[in-house]
Amino acid sequence: MFGFDAGVIALLIPIVAVVGGMAIAIVGVITKSKEEELRHKERIIAMEKGIPIPEMAASEPPRKDKPRYLAIRAWGLVITLIGLAIMISIGISSDFSDGVWGLIPTALGVGLLLAGWLEKKDMEK
């Protein structure tokens, strides 16, 4: 494909994934800092002119933070399903005994699900 050897493509996939993920994170951080800088400048200009300080733009709804246990449970579900997918795919493609490697992410996912459940119980008290 495109004149590349299969080994080169296999080497480039994780490199591109890591660099792409880092690039997305960097762009997000830069964008958020620019937005905060613009809000800060707007507030300073309003204070200098003596007009009321703008709270939040009308197009921007107030942020409502979700409870942390929801994120923990969501990640637990994702990781559990990834572990099950690994077990099934390795089990089908090779010997079923090799599929036990999927138990590692499955156990991590179940642990996160349990942690989210326990945190929800603690918050309800």
Domain boundaries, the chain: 1-60, 65-118
The answer to whether 76 and 110 have CB atoms below 8 angstroms apart is: yes
The answer to whether 103 and 87 have CB atoms below 8 angstroms apart is: yes
pLDDT, tens only, 96-112? 777 788 889 999 999 99
Task: Give the pLDDT of residue 67.
Answer: 79
What ranges in the chain are assigned the alpha helix state H? 6-49, 68-93, 103-124
d(C-alpha 54, C-alpha 103), whole Å: 53
Q: Judge whether residue 1 has pLDDT over 60.
A: no
Task: Give the pLDDT of residue 60.
Answer: 58
Q: What is the pTM of this model?
A: 0.47
* Residues ≥6 apart with Cβ < 8 Å to 51: none
pLDDT, tens only, 22-64? 999 999 999 999 999 998 898 889 889 988 876 765 555 666 7
pLDDT, tens only, 3-24? 778 788 888 888 999 999 999 9
Is the model more confident about 125 or about 121?
Answer: 121
